[in-house]
Structure 1
Amino acid sequence: MYFASDNWAGASEPIMNALMRHKDGYEPAYGDGPICESIEQRFQEIFETDCSVFVVGTGTAANALALSALTGPAGTVFCHKEAHIRVDECGAPEFLTSGARMWGLEGRHGKLSREALQTGFQEVPHGVVHHGQPSAVSLTQATEVGTLYSVEEITQLSAQAKDNGLAVHMDGARFANALVTLGVTPAEMTWKAGVDVLSFGATKNGAWCAEAVVFFNKDYAKDFIYRRKRAGQLFSKMRFAAAQFEGYFENDHWLDNARHSNAMAARLVKGLEAMDHTRIAWPTGSNEVFAIVPKQAAQKATAAGAVFYDWPSFGLAPEECPGEGESLLRLVCSFSTTQAEVDQFLDCLK
């Protein structure tokens, strides 16, 4: 019963098969081979546009390097106060942007609102030498608490950013999970809604080590090859990073994986909502479930072999927070989560 993180799961069979297909023979190094070119073309087909694609190894690298292309050392990136780029990346965005600040804003259900973003613009005005200069807005899709921005919300926030001269970045570590829930196209959820650059995640959805920075506004990509190299993300045997995307996209495998992990999360939610002593903290829009359960039940599940994380209740209203004797748990499903695991976990909580 592994619900700690989708990063705990292994790599899916189609992705490993793709790696095996490319294990022999010779191919130019550093991304100059035919497979890397074909993967960029595949991204362009999926997103229905002429985008620039740079494969990297980690989500932290994707986010930090993407933001480095959008801002400078005096820059400010507006994001949710619980955003991964601000809380969980050990200062990498600040480091690789040479000191840009991640300006955290409040927002219900882990999402920025137009009002919160306007507050940010007032807190960090343009043209004041004593402040960092507003450079970009970063949206996380799906959010840190498993909720989703609708396409309309992304469009509105992007327009607000552009009206103020800012670029728009999307942290898509769980991009596929959000996509299948909303039932829209990749293009509709990104560049058609105003997103300039996307950190496209595959590792959480069945890959071994594969992320990509996708530039829809190619003006921001003009010197990115040097940024990636300087950050140690230009792999000599880049074909193996690219090969993962070959298996990932083949026969819509990436969407199937996301649908499965989302379905397992929905099964968890249904079971938790049927109990009178548990409740869901935030609406579940992806493969992450945040549940408030009795501490005694959580201890019983742990003793039975369940693995999960206790989670801080930041962002919940006081009346929504865990009470005495309760815990807030984060439960993450993956492509390899089974119905039997979900049901066994629910049985532990009954």
Structure 2
Amino acid sequence: MIHKWLNKGKVTNILIPLISVFLGIIVGAIIMLFIGQNPFVGYSALLSGVFGDVYYFGEMLRMMTPLILAGLAVAFAFRTGLFNIGVEGQLIVGWLASVAVGILVDAPAIIHLPLAILAGALAGALWGFIPGFLKARFYVHEVIVTIMMNYVALYVSNYLIRTYLLAPGERTERISSSASLASPFLQSITDFSRLHYGFFIAIFACLILWFILWKTTLGFELRAVGYNKHASQYAGMNVNRNVILAMVISGGFAGLAGAMEGLGTYGYMSILAGFTGVGFNGIAVALLGANTSIGVFLAAALFGGLTVGAPNMQSQAGIPPELVSIVIALIIFFVASSYLIRLVINRLQKEGK
């Protein structure tokens, strides 16, 4: 019975991320023992740092918001046969565009807020269009272009802030209240954390990704082109258009992630000394989440919880917070080495026959 259960491909795909997380935690515990720390105390402090105080739980949900959207951006590209390494840059331009609209436009909230969110999504989509067009028209690999465009986004955004939007403190002015995603209600029930309405937008985006990919003709075409572009072209599909569209939609999700930071968490945009890291973490979230909406949501929850709980490990257990980064890296390693886990499962299957 067990071996028949293991034979199911979908169950195996669920097991791999779970086993990867388990192995990452186990190796993290071994490292704690190696440095003379008690892993039970360390992980207890980690959990306490997330669930022991409603403020930190609210911060975990807030941190999940851009991670979910960045993970969806990467997952959508993966599902369509593309590797979008430019989520970080698309997030940055989306952040800037949403904040710019939030500052410069004067309109009632019912117009201003959707307009600012849309500006972030469109900016990310435009940043995704460029590598998509180059891929479709000139066969330039999207990985190279998206990596380079991350740097272009970073430095162009800093230039635009310094030239047109600079306020004291090396940042922009604060956005108008009519463009803000801040929620006094959500803040009050989480002991005044920075949780905002963007969390619900991220959940809705998960449903949007699932619906587009699995319930529409467009999604079928996008996935088909990703699986085999030659067969798709033979079947009459417009391969170049679908490649561009996939990158545009992926960039739109990433731009939304930036808008959540600009309109929700901060209410402004600072001159960035380097990358935010959220876009790159989105790659790990998508990998751990097996490029599915529910998987991305759960992976973002895990990464958000680990990040928020890390300082508590240091304050309560004396364990360096960098250990959490090691655990995250180990989880990603085991996910990337999933063929080893599949090998073990296949061996169990053979022994059961």
- In terms of fraction of residues, the more helix-rich structure is 2
Choose between structure 1 and 2 for higher RCO, CA contacts under 8 A separated by at least 6 residues: 2
Question: What TM-score results when the alignment is normalised by the length of structure 1?
Answer: 0.28
Question: What TM-score results when the alignment is normalised by the length of structure 2?
Answer: 0.28
